[in-house]
Structure 1
Amino acid sequence: MYLKKAFWSDRLNSESESESQSPVGDLVKSLDKQRLYREVTLALRTGLRDARAEFSFLRVTGLRNILKFLRSVAESDSTINLFCHSQSIPQLQVVPVLFQHSLKDIDDQRVTSLDHIFSVEPMKIVSPSTDAEVALALRVLEGCCLLHRESTILAHQHKAIPVLMNTLSTRGVLEQGACLDALISIMLDSSANQMDFEACNGIEEVALLIRDKQIEENLRLKCGEFLLLLIGHLNGREKPPMVTIHEDIRRFLGEKSASLIWAASQFGSTLDPEQRLTALHIQARRVLESIDLY
């Protein structure tokens, strides 16, 4: 669901500055803010209702709508602020719904008891999450954490890192790529999630993927980009939570690759986003080539 532009906004923008500060202009701005907030809450309620559904195809529909909504929200600071405010309301929080439904452990979705056969209460059957559903849920998680930093706290409360590391080691390429992006988003400026990543031997898991020549090259490149972004984010901090990360990379990928990753992670401070993305991809390919020669 995309946020719509108010029909009166063009007229308001065409008014002079003195007129826009009049009581009428203030009223119009207030009405516009209220309208946007109603649209934000309506989009979230509708999307979350489907994301809690028993059937995977309905949850996929809800996740797609939430993802479109997040992309629309990211277009302006005012809508981002409204979304952040909405996430302080438990009924509108997106992250808990993701982990309670789409990202729920597959073992928790299995039927382990037949007691419902002998009772009058019908058993509620919930279809397991499909690959497409998991990938969409990870994209929604990434968007929420990038737009609303407190969502990383909610993710930590739902043991996000162990869940995502399990996804990274057991799911397919589609989910693994989305998982790496989600991991970066929930670990930025979150010491708790970074410590969980270290406790789950996250660097070793990523190193196993990047060294596996049997998997797709695009996924291996994304693993290289992940390491570059993570090292670049942690560099320069006085006491980073992941104090052994450089030693771990050296141990699992070799001295040459570790040195290249450390040097390459220093780039991009003066580049615009598009140039930084291109440079990141080039550096990740160089890292991959050094690993293949190792």
Structure 2
Amino acid sequence: MMHHLPKAFWRSENESTPVTDLVTSLDDQRLYREVTLALRTGLRDARSDFSFLRLRGLRSILKFLRSVAASDSTINLFSHTQSIPDLQVVPVLFQHSLHDFQDQIITNLDHIFSVQPLKITSPSTDAEVSLALRVLEGSCLLHRESMLLAHHFKAVQVLMNILATRGVLEQGACLDALIAIMMDSSINQLDFEACNGIEEVALLIRDKQVDENLRMKCGEFLLLLIGHVNGREGAPMAGIHDDIRRLLGEKSASLIWAASQFGSTLDPDQRLMALHIQARRVLESLDLY
């Protein structure tokens, strides 16, 4: 037979004492140390010149972000760490793993006229780019100000470059990251408009030579995006419905418009299932022609 353990002698219901306050404070400090240590360790590897070390660091950070997402208290701790420059995740991603995709290529000829050896950095592999995009997605979902940090590194332009040039693995992660950095960021939505983002996604979804899973992901992307910006007069992408009608045709545009209104009352698993089903219908409507 189970017996209830006696309540600690210093505690009474809803009572705060110097002892309980001290215990709580020590627990908070311990948790904060654990969070910052895990982050520092992952970021140290993610800054490496070697791709295999960067990959290890990104895996560690992604695992860390998933554990952070488990409770509001750890999300708040993570948000606090992101106000400290040395612990910020987003800049490291764009300065290292996603560095090759920056639009601005700065040519530095100093090494030609100098005795200093040229620093060699191994290029990012497909797996590294994909993982960096997942970390970017997680950081922005957990910490809204990371969206603004991403804008400072021309995130939308970099991601559209990846979408146009890399393989299916990176393209799928890219679409998820784009949603994460654009959902509540007008400035990133404006960047997406400036890059003709809807047109680029429409090209992929219309192309039957493109991997079917990626086309499905494009359909889900459009459904999520339209469901989010629906009816926001004067906001960025206010003309998104006209763009999709022009790019995909009236039938598919009407289907996307209707389907994008799904599931606000559904639980997350049901919403995900509904999203898959509606994206499949969008693809089928396109494949009729």
Normalised by the length of structure 2, the TM-score is 0.92
How far apart in 2 are the matches of 1:91 and 1:280?
38
Q: Report deviation, 1:123.
A: 1.4
Alignment match of 1:45 (pick from 40, 44, 59) = 40
Q: Report deviation, 1:23.
A: 2.0
Q: Deviations over 1:211-250 (max 9, x none)?
A: 1111211110010000000000011324321122111101
Helix, strand or coil at the partner of 1:240: coil
Using a 3 Å threshold, how does the CA distance of structure 1 residues 274 and 11 change in structure 2: closer, same or farther?
farther
Paired residues of 1:180 and 1:226 also in contact (CA < 8 A)? yes
Q: Report deviation, 1:21.
A: 2.5
Which region of structure 1 is more displaced relative to structure 2, 134-143 or 240-249?
A: 240-249
Using a 3 Å threshold, how does the CA distance of structure 1 residues 27 and 293 change in structure 2: closer, same or farther?
same
Paired residues of 2:93 and 2:132 also in contact (CA < 8 A)? yes
Alignment match of 1:189 (pick from 184, 189, 196) = 184
The residue aligned with 1:281 is: 276
Q: Report deviation, 1:105.
A: 2.4
The Cα RMSD (Å) is 2.4
Q: Does 1:219 align with 2:247?
A: no
How far apart in 2 are the matches of 1:108 and 1:283?
34
The residue aligned with 2:252 is: 257
The residue aligned with 1:102 is: 97
The residue aligned with 1:178 is: 173
The residue aligned with 1:228 is: 223
The residue aligned with 2:159 is: 164
Q: Deviations over 1:80-104 (max 9, x none)?
A: 0000000011111100111111111
> Structure 2: any 5+ residue segments left out of the alignment?
none
Alignment match of 1:22 (pick from 17, 23, 30) = 17
Opposite residue 269 of structure 1, the aligned amino acid is: S
Q: What is the percent sequence identity of the aligned residues?
A: 79
Alignment match of 1:246 (pick from 232, 241, 252) = 241
Q: Does 1:123 align with 2:87?
A: no
Opposite residue 226 of structure 1, the aligned amino acid is: F
Q: Deviations over 1:65-84 (max 9, x none)?
A: 00000000000110000000
How far apart in 2 are the matches of 1:36 and 1:21?
20
Normalised by the length of structure 1, the TM-score is 0.91
The residue aligned with 1:7 is: none
Using a 3 Å threshold, how does the CA distance of structure 1 residues 42 and 287 change in structure 2: closer, same or farther?
same
Length, aligned pairs only: 285
